[in-house]
Each structure stands twice: as structure tokens, then as C-alpha cells.
Amino acid sequence: MLGRIFVGLGVGVAAQIVPLYLSEIAPTEIRGKLIAMNTAMITVGQLISVILVLFLIPDWRMMLGIAAAPSIL
């Protein structure tokens, strides 16, 4: 349970800091597009994960394996 709390806090902090960092370092011409693309990609990723869960509900081991694949790569 403690691990989930730390991971949740880390994801929350990252979700707050990344757009701020991007807005500071991006050129003014593409600043808005970059922030919008970041938000859109997060939303698309969440949509894809929900769709995968709908297809893999009976096999929770497969869901964990798919989540671990990017980390292994």
C-alpha cells in the first residue's frame, strides 16, 4: 500500500511539473502546441489502456506483462 502512495504522488507531481517545464523551455512559437500535444498524448494513452483492459479483463497477468514491456525495453 505504501508503494502505491509513493507511485501516486510521483505521477501527480510529474503531471504538474512536466507542462510547467515544457512551457519554460519551449520556443514561444510552439509553446501552446507543445503543451496541448503533451495533454493530448496523456489522454490518448489513458484511452488505449482502458480499451486494452476491456479486452484483457480475465487475464490480469497479461495486463501486468504488457505494462512491464516498456520498462524492460
- What per-residue confidence (pLDDT) applies to 21? 92
How is residue 1 annotated by DSSP? Answer: -
Q: 0.75 cut: is pTM over it?
A: no
Give tens-digit pLDDT for 20-58.
999 899 999 999 999 999 989 989 988 988 887 788 776
Q: Mean pLDDT throughout 45-73?
A: 79
- What per-residue confidence (pLDDT) applies to 56? 73
For residue 13, the one-letter residue type is V
Q: How wide is the angle at C-alpha 38 spanned by C-alphas 49 and 43, nearest 5°?
A: 30
- What per-residue confidence (pLDDT) applies to 27? 92
User: Rg of the chain's alpha carbons, rounded to an integer?
Assistant: 16
Domain boundaries, the chain: 2-72
